[in-house]
Amino acid sequence: MIAGGFGLTILIGALLLILPASSAEGVWTGFLDALFTSTSAVCVTGLIVVDTAVYWSPFGKVVILLLIQVGGLGIMLFAALIGLALARRLSVRSRIITGAETKAEGVGDLRGLALGILATTLTIEAAVAAVLFVRFLTGYGYDVGRAAWHAVFHAVSSFNNAGFALYTDSLMGFVSDPWVCLPISAAIILGGLGFPVLRQLRRELRVPLHWTMNTRIMLAGTAVLLVGGTIYTALMEWDNAGTLGPLDPASRVLAAFFHSVQARTAGFNSVDIAQMHDETWLGTDVLMLIGGGPAGTAGGIKVTTFAVLFFIMWAELRGSSTVNVFGKRLSRAVHREAITVVLVAIGAVMAAVIAILAMTDLDLDRVLFEVVSAFGTVGMSAGITAALPDAAQIILILLMFLGRLGPLTLGTALAFRERPVAYELPKERPAIG
């Protein structure tokens, strides 16, 4: 149901973007370009094959904005909200499916959960839009209408970690402006934490002892990745004349922090990604693959998955029989889930890289960057997306779809039904390492 809902929404979005009303020149848009853009919007990625600022008409940009909002909220959650509005109640099946998508612990209070997520989303987006509106109006001379439109579009795009911008160079024109970069970064971070974390922080912000393992891992992991990504980017790019080099020291730190935030699945850029050093690309690949939090607007394998693997490794190196995280024992079922997600992710990325390398003459580093960006639903680009052949763009579409749904969700949808087994085979242990 979840996979089908996303697929149907993408198809509807593509059909709307094909229409002449969606293009600035009033012409029909090719199906692949429309499908790629719709997938990128619904999967809140931000990779583009046509210039968003120039190619699409106001109607087309509104369609993209709506697709971003629907995709960020989640198809089943959006359907639940529509059901609540029309029927004032949810069926048991609807509650179970919505709970699966939102990672809810039960199905009893999904009405309150759905309305809470909607309220959180609109509140954060409104707050960021208000700050951006004032800045665009007073700092850049925009008229009221243009300032409001740009503020709302980028607030929605940032909270949903979509990375779509109304400027040809993304946000490079604001590289030294903290009043634009920091509100957008805050929205991205909050969206990337995941709705379960935001919900608990809203209720129990002052009671850390009540925080779940998921909340603790997300807050600690996010802080470590943001600080580490900022330091790494600054060290690698400090003297690069094509990126941070021309900026003053304060602006370099801001740009490095902004890049670290974007690599967590947002996809805006305030410096030229194509001019970065290879080692910066590789570090960004790692951040993009990890992504943000589960049941939120971020992609990647998720911070929690990465943390679980780290704690499993740490326990094994210490010879511990159990994996303990923040004073709690980790369920063995979570071990298998984390390993499955990572192996599927690595397999999908490697298969896509090999396929695209076979059909193009591009370098490995650029192809790897583009593929990881698609799977992590990041949207950062080394500048090759639009030039890729149709088959390669289709591969990126499939990767964005897989990355947004998650390997476990899509794998469950495609797998055969579980069959009970009335016996167990004898154990045997192969040599490891």
User: What are the DSSP calls for 404-420, one per residue?
Assistant: HH-HHHHHHHHSPPP--
Amino acid code (one letter) for 39: T
Residues 6 or more apart from 95 whose CB is under 8 A from it? 80, 107, 110
Distance (Å, whole) CA 207 – CA 88: 33
- Total number of residues shown for the chain: 433
Q: Cα dihedral angle (256, 262, 268, 273), rounded to 10 degrees?
A: 50
Distance (Å, whole) CA 3 – CA 9: 10
Q: What are phi and psi of 51, to 5 degrees?
A: -70, 115
pTM: 0.88
Residue 14 pLDDT: 96
Residue 415 pLDDT: 59
Contact 275, 170 (CB under 8 A): no
> Please, how many CA atoms are within 13 Å of residue 69, restricted to the half-sphere of its CB?
19
Residue 79 pLDDT: 58
Tokens of residue 329, six digits: 């024992």
Task: Identify the CA nearest to 273 among candidates 350, 407, 187, 163.
Answer: 163
Neighbours of 249 (CB within 10 A): 10
Give the pLDDT of the chain (433 residues) as one tens digit per residue: 777 888 899 999 999 999 999 999 999 999 999 999 999 999 989 899 999 999 999 999 999 999 999 888 876 566 556 555 555 565 656 666 666 555 565 555 666 777 778 888 899 999 999 999 999 999 999 999 999 999 999 999 999 988 899 999 999 999 999 999 999 999 999 988 888 888 888 888 888 888 888 899 999 999 999 999 999 999 999 999 999 999 999 999 999 999 999 998 888 999 999 999 999 999 999 999 998 888 777 888 889 999 999 999 999 898 888 888 888 888 888 888 888 889 989 999 999 999 999 999 999 999 999 999 999 999 898 889 999 999 999 999 999 998 888 776 666 665 555 567 788 888 887 887 7
Distance (Å, whole) CA 197 – CA 293: 9
**Cα→Cα distances 255→79, 105, 243, 262, 409, Å:** 38, 38, 9, 10, 35
Residue 410 pLDDT: 65
Distance (Å, whole) CA 119 – CA 227: 29
Work out whether the CA dihedral 372, 377, 381, 387 comes out positive or negative: positive
Residue 209 pLDDT: 86
β-bridge mates for residue 296, sequence order: none
Contact 294, 409 (CB under 8 A): no
